[in-house]
Structure 1
């Protein structure tokens, strides 16, 4: 498969196109065929070596760049239970997207368990979920009682079997799906009110 790698830190000249074997997914991993990858400043900073000593983003050379993407699952490793070949997925903070294929860590809701652990079982006040079908119920688990879930994307598909009672069972949660159009409409109304208010103040 084709991949873009760096073997040393530096400018654009350190980017290399290489040929690699298609990787095999290990335990808790999935192999995806990369259809689209994100290109952002984190890739630039990685190439420049700004994360060479980072514990948050522990990527070291040599490495294949690209830390986010979207595609379909090709093959699953052992321990992967809720994904299968052909499922559409998106991922972030998993390097290797600048390639024809990539290995992605399968979490299976582990983020909710980790959030519960870090908050001593309480959960967070607000959860922002852009993934949708495969993560939304885990987002419920990550929220505190009467917490707010903001679902602003559905890259893995819409939730067609979600009943309102689930919000109650999960802790009397609030779920919203905001739209940019509504936000822009509210902003225009607020701006108009401010102009009217200023007119009255100056008159």
Structure 2
């Protein structure tokens, strides 16, 4: 089979599209023919070595596809089932072996591409909106990179919960995309904290969902109301420098968390609940999935370059 391999960490140029041995499922595993693999910022962290993995490795965590072989001891899954996953390292490939307990069924009314585009980011947005800061009607939330894959999902889910959404974007085109997703107000990054204060009559927002990191972190804290929540779920612009906890005290007894998805889908019941909600909203039309770019699997390097250069909106997929 063909796959995208990282043999040495570095820039997008280290991504090697090459032949790999055909995998086979062991006990408790399934073999899946990948229909689409999601491209996420965490993939770039793995590629760069920011989140180290043993070398060499097939990159990619997220995808969807059809079960083509079932290992011993697997129940509840059959050949032909369409499934999706969020933490299956090796997903930039034509085939991948996955633990049966970590895949979720894709229901009727949701395509494999939609599932691949929404699995990791959709469930990330779900736990951020429902658990990290449970958004309530009347809350005001700030969503950074509101026209990106995560930003569009966060905006829509916050609106489903009755919130007012302020989004940040970098261009007029991205502003229009964010507004179509439901953002009530859209501002540029330059001086965004002051603009947020103006839009909230000086009070600030209840929560900031920040996947940008270094470039927006200080302004995000300055955008919060007293006892507001800063949810730093990513670092697209780089890691945030060390923070003196007294800063949170001085800015109004703020809360700061740096969560990750795997801690919010520990039990299979929780994984299935989040997947059921996300896929259910897609099937009903309440959640729109914006797949902005589809690349052949061999063009993974281009996908990474486009993602990190912020040349894209919505979700990027690799198609084997």
Q: TM (normalized to structure 1)? A: 0.54
Superposed, 1:50-89 pairs within 5 Å as 50-52=50-52, 59-89=53-83
- Following the alignment from structure 1 to structure 2, what is the Cα–Cα distance between the partners of residues 149 and 13? 34
Please tell me whether residue 139 in structure 1 is matched to residue 269 in structure 2: yes
Kept in 1, the 8 Å contact 2:27–2:73? The answer is: yes
Larger proportion of helix: 2
- Following the alignment from structure 1 to structure 2, what is the Cα–Cα distance between the partners of residues 149 and 67? 16
> Which ranges of structure 1 fall in alignment gaps of 5 or more residues?
53-58, 110-124, 127-137, 159-176, 182-203
Runs of 4+ in 1 over 4 A off after TM superposition: 140-143
Counterpart residue number, 2:262: none
Counterpart residue number, 1:21: 21
- Following the alignment from structure 1 to structure 2, what is the Cα–Cα distance between the partners of residues 9 and 149? 32
> Equivalent residue of 2:21, what SS?
coil
Kept in 1, the 8 Å contact 2:66–2:80? The answer is: yes
- Following the alignment from structure 2 to structure 1, what is the Cα–Cα distance between the partners of residues 6 and 28? 26
Please tell me whether residue 92 in structure 1 is matched to residue 86 in structure 2: yes
> Which ranges of structure 2 fall in alignment gaps of 5 or more residues?
104-129, 132-267, 289-320
> Equivalent residue of 2:54, what SS?
coil
Give the direction of change, closer, same or farther, for the CA distance of 1:16–1:150 in structure 2 (3 Å limit). closer
Q: Over alpha carbons, which structure has the higher Rg?
A: 1
Kept in 2, the 8 Å contact 1:34–1:100? The answer is: yes
Give the direction of change, closer, same or farther, for the CA distance of 1:80–1:41 in structure 2 (3 Å limit). same
> Equivalent residue of 2:101, what SS?
coil
- Following the alignment from structure 1 to structure 2, what is the Cα–Cα distance between the partners of residues 45 and 108? 22
- Following the alignment from structure 1 to structure 2, what is the Cα–Cα distance between the partners of residues 149 and 6? 29
* 1:152-202 Cα shifts (integer Å, max 9, x gaps): 3149xx8xxxxxxxxxxxxxxxxxx89359xxxxxxxxxxxxxxxxxxxxx
Counterpart residue number, 1:191: none
- Following the alignment from structure 1 to structure 2, what is the Cα–Cα distance between the partners of residues 96 and 21? 12
* Deviation at residue 151 of structure 1 after TM alignment: 1.7
Give the direction of change, closer, same or farther, for the CA distance of 1:149–1:12 in structure 2 (3 Å limit). closer
* 1:120-175 Cα shifts (integer Å, max 9, x gaps): xxxxx97xxxxxxxxxxx638999xxxx99823149xx8xxxxxxxxxxxxxxxxx
* Deviation at residue 22 of structure 1 after TM alignment: 1.1
Counterpart residue number, 1:106: 100
Q: TM (normalized to structure 2)? A: 0.35
Q: How many residues align?
A: 127
* Deviation at residue 60 of structure 1 after TM alignment: 2.0
Counterpart residue number, 2:279: 153
